[in-house]
Amino acid sequence: MSFKENTQEVDEKLAALITNSNAIRAVASAVEGTIGPKGLDIMLVDRFGEVTITNDGVTILKQMDVNHPAAKILINIAKAQQEEVGDGTTTATLMAGTMVSEGVGQILKGVPVARVIEGIKIGINKARETLESKIILVKDIDDPNLKNIALIAGRENRDIAELVTEAAKLVGKEKLKDKNYKLKDIIMSRAGAKNEVFLGLIIDKEKMNSQMPQEFQNPRVLLIDDALEPEEVAPEALRTEAGFARYLELKEEFKENLKKIIELKVNLVLVDKSINNEAEEVLTDAGIIALERVSRKDMEKICEHTGARIMKRLGLKKSVEEIQSYIGQADRVYEDERLKQLRIVGGKGTPMATVMVGAATEEIAGERERIAKDAASSLQAAVLYGMVPGGGAVEIAMSRALEKERNKIKGMAAYGIDCVISALKRPLAQIVYNSGYNPLEKVEEVIYTQTENKVSSIGINCDSGQLADMVELGVLDPARVKSYALKAAGEVSEAILRINTIIKKRDDVSTGQKTAQEPTMGINEMDF
C-alpha cells in the first residue's frame, strides 16, 4: 500500500469519527439551553403542525427528527436513563457530547483510540467512587430536602413539588423503597382539573350509561378478567338440536350468574373486555355501576387498593360463598362527570395515592405531567439511594478528584481522563451560561473555592451569580441520577469512539430489505 493510499484510509476513518462526533454534539446542543433553573423551553412541531413545548430532555430527544445512527445511540441511552431513574437525561447528554468531542480532539492529536477509551473508563470509575463518598442519606420521609429535590426536578413549580411530596408521605417510606414501585405512575394531568392528592385511584373510564348510580359509600367491588356475556357456542353447533339446547342452557346459566352479583350486593363491576346488552340492562336495573374494557394495569391497581381478587368469567359459576372472597371494598366510589373519570377512594387493601396535576390546556397538561413525573422519580431515587449537592457542584468535586488521579497515571491513558474531567465541568458551565454569567470565570471560582475550603458542595447561586453552598441553599439531586448519567455518558463515548468506519447497507433487490453483503465503503456522512 502506498503512502498516499494509507493516508487516504486514515483520513476516511477520522472522517467517520468526526461525523459521529458532530452528530452527538448536535444532539447535545439541542438540549443544552434547557438545563438549570434559568433554562428555557424548546418548541417541537410535527408535520401536522402539532406543537409540544417542553424543556424535558428525554421528551425533546424522543421527538427530535434524527436519522444519524450515532445520534440514535445517544438518544437510546438517554431513554434508558429515563426508564431507570426518571431524570438526568440532559446531564447525561451534555456529558456524553463533551466526552466524545474531547476524545476526538485527543485522537486527532495522535493519541491512540484504545488509550483514550482506557482513560475514560478509569475516569468514570474513579468519579463514581468519589460520588459515593458524597452521598447524604435520607433518614425520614419528612426530610425537608425531599421537597427541595422535587422542586428542582419539577423545574421550580412549587405546586407540583408540594403535590409530589404530599403523595410520598401518603405512600410512606417503605413503599418508596420498593424498587418495583414507581411513584411517577400515580401521576395524572388533565386540562380543567384542579391540583389534588388523595388516597385512592382514578380510572379513565365512564360508567356504561347515565342511568347507573353516580356514587356509592362503602362500595363492594368485583373485577372480571374476561367479557361479561354468555359463553359462546360455535355457529355450526347452533344448527343442531343439541347445540341450540346448549346455547339456551348457557344463556340461562349466565342469567343465574348475574343474579349472584346482585345477591352479593356488589356496587361496582369492572370488566376487562366487553359487557353485553343483557348484562348492562340487568346491572343498571340493580343499581350497579359497571365499566367495560378496563386495562389490566388498572385492574391490578384496583385489586391491590380494594383487596379484591380478579376472577375469570367462569368463576361466576362458583357458589355465592366462594365468590364472596373475590370482592373488595372501598370508602367511596363516584364518577367525575366533568373529567369523565371514575374514582375509587379509601380502599380496604394497600393504601394507594393519586396525584392529579391541573392545567389550563391539553398542551400545558402534558408538560405539567412530565414535570411532575420527573419530580416524583427524583424524590423516590433520593429515598432509595441518597442525595448529593446539586447545581453542578458535585460534578466539580468529582473533576477535582480526577485531577489528582491523572497525576498517578502513566502513559497516554491520562488523556482519556482529561475527557472525563472536561465532561464533569460541563453541567455547571452550561447552568451558569443559561443564567447569564461567564462560565469560564464561574467554573474556576468554584474549583478554587472547593479546593481551598475542602468543601464539595460549593456552587453558584443562579439568582445572584455568587458562590454558595448548595446543601445550605437546598439545591440537591438524587445520587442515582448523577451516577447513572455518568455511566451512560461513558458508555456512549466508548461506543462512538470505537467506530472508525461507517458502511451503508445496500437494499436487497429481491426482498427490499437491507443486507450487509457487498457493502458500499466510505459513507461517512448521513442525514441528521
pLDDT over 50 at 520, yes or no: no
Q: Is residue 370 part of a domain?
A: yes
Percent of the chain with pLDDT over 70: 91
CATH number of the domain bearing residue 477? 1.10.560.10
Q: Is residue 62 part of a domain?
A: yes
DSSP 357: E
Q: Is residue 127 part of a domain?
A: yes
Residues 338 and 227 in one domain: yes
Looking at residue 343, its pLDDT comes to 92
Looking at residue 334, its pLDDT comes to 92
Give me 216's grid cell.
356509592
Least confident of 98-102, 221-225, 272-276, 495-499: 495-499
Structural domains of the chain, count: 3
Type of residue found at 45:
V
3-state secondary structure of 342: strand
Out of 37-41, 178-182, 293-297, 396-400, the most confident range is: 396-400
Instruction: Compute the average pLDDT of residues 179-204.
Output: 88
The more confident residue out of 41 and 411 is: 411
Looking at residue 352, its pLDDT comes to 86
pTM for the model stands at 0.76
219 pLDDT band (50/70/90 cuts)?
A: very high
1 pLDDT band (50/70/90 cuts)?
A: very low
Residues 99 and 7 in one domain: yes
Closest to 94 measured CA to CA, from 466, 501, 333, 395: 395
pLDDT over 60 at 148, yes or no: yes
Residues 98 and 213 in one domain: no
* Strand partners of residue 203: 342
Looking at residue 167, its pLDDT comes to 92
Q: Is 498 exposed, middle or buried (0-12, 13-18, 19+ CB in 10 A)?
A: exposed
Residues 104 and 18 in one domain: yes
Residues 33 and 165 in one domain: no
502 pLDDT band (50/70/90 cuts)?
A: low
Instruction: Compute the average pLDDT of residues 261-277.
Output: 91
Residues in the chain: 528
Q: What distance in Å separates the CA atoms of residue 252 and residue 284, rounded to the nearest whole number?
A: 19
Instruction: Compute the average pLDDT of residues 257-276.
Output: 91
pLDDT over 50 at 281, yes or no: yes
CATH number of the domain bearing residue 264? 3.50.7.10
Q: Is residue 406 part of a domain?
A: yes
Residues 68 and 159 in one domain: no
The whole-chain average pLDDT of the chain stands at 85
Closest to 134 measured CA to CA, from 365, 398, 340: 398
Residues 149 and 242 in one domain: no
Q: How far does Cα 354 stand from its chain's mean position?
A: 17
pLDDT over 50 at 517, yes or no: no
* Residue 57 contacts residue 514 (beta carbons within 8 Å): no
Q: What distance in Å separates the CA atoms of residue 237 and residue 138, rounded to the nearest whole number?
A: 66
Residues 324 and 392 in one domain: no
How far are the Cα atoms of 192, 210, 322, 328, 527 from residue 311, in angstroms, in the given order? 36, 26, 11, 12, 53
Instruction: Compute the average pLDDT of residues 326-343.
Output: 90
Residues 206 and 344 in one domain: yes
Give me 159's grid cell.
405546586
pLDDT tens, residue by residue, 340-355: 889 999 989 888 889 9
* Residue 479 contacts residue 395 (beta carbons within 8 Å): no
Instruction: Compute the average pLDDT of residues 435-451.
Output: 94
51 Cβ contact list (under 8 Å, min separation 6): 43, 44, 45, 363
Residues 435 and 318 in one domain: no
Q: Is residue 83 part of a domain?
A: yes
Looking at residue 503, its pLDDT comes to 64
How far apart are the two ends of the chain, measured CA to CA in Å?
A: 34
Please give the helix or strand (H or E) that residue 336 lies within, else none. strand 332-336
Least confident of 53-67, 324-338, 388-402: 53-67
240 pLDDT band (50/70/90 cuts)?
A: confident
337 Cβ contact list (under 8 Å, min separation 6): 214
pLDDT over 90 at 430, yes or no: yes
pLDDT tens, residue by residue, 80-127: 777 777 677 888 889 989 999 999 999 988 899 999 999 999 999 999
pLDDT over 60 at 323, yes or no: yes
Q: Is residue 526 part of a domain?
A: no
3-state secondary structure of 246: helix
Domain extent at residue 341:
201-355
Looking at residue 505, its pLDDT comes to 67
277 Cβ contact list (under 8 Å, min separation 6): none
Q: What distance in Å separates the CA atoms of residue 528 and residue 526, rounded to the nearest whole number?
A: 6
Instruction: Compute the average pLDDT of residues 302-315.
Output: 90
Q: What distance in Å separates the CA atoms of residue 126 and residue 482, rounded to the nearest whole number?
A: 14
Looking at residue 217, its pLDDT comes to 94
Q: Is residue 528 part of a domain?
A: no
Looking at residue 380, its pLDDT comes to 92
Q: Is residue 222 part of a domain?
A: yes
pLDDT tens, residue by residue, 68-91: 777 888 787 777 777 777 677 888
CATH number of the domain bearing residue 153? 3.30.260
Q: Is 252 exposed, middle or buried (0-12, 13-18, 19+ CB in 10 A)?
A: exposed
Residues 225 and 350 in one domain: yes
Looking at residue 355, its pLDDT comes to 92
Q: What distance in Å separates the CA atoms of residue 334 and residue 207, rounded to the nearest whole number?
A: 10
Residues 261 and 174 in one domain: no
Percent of the chain with pLDDT over 90: 42
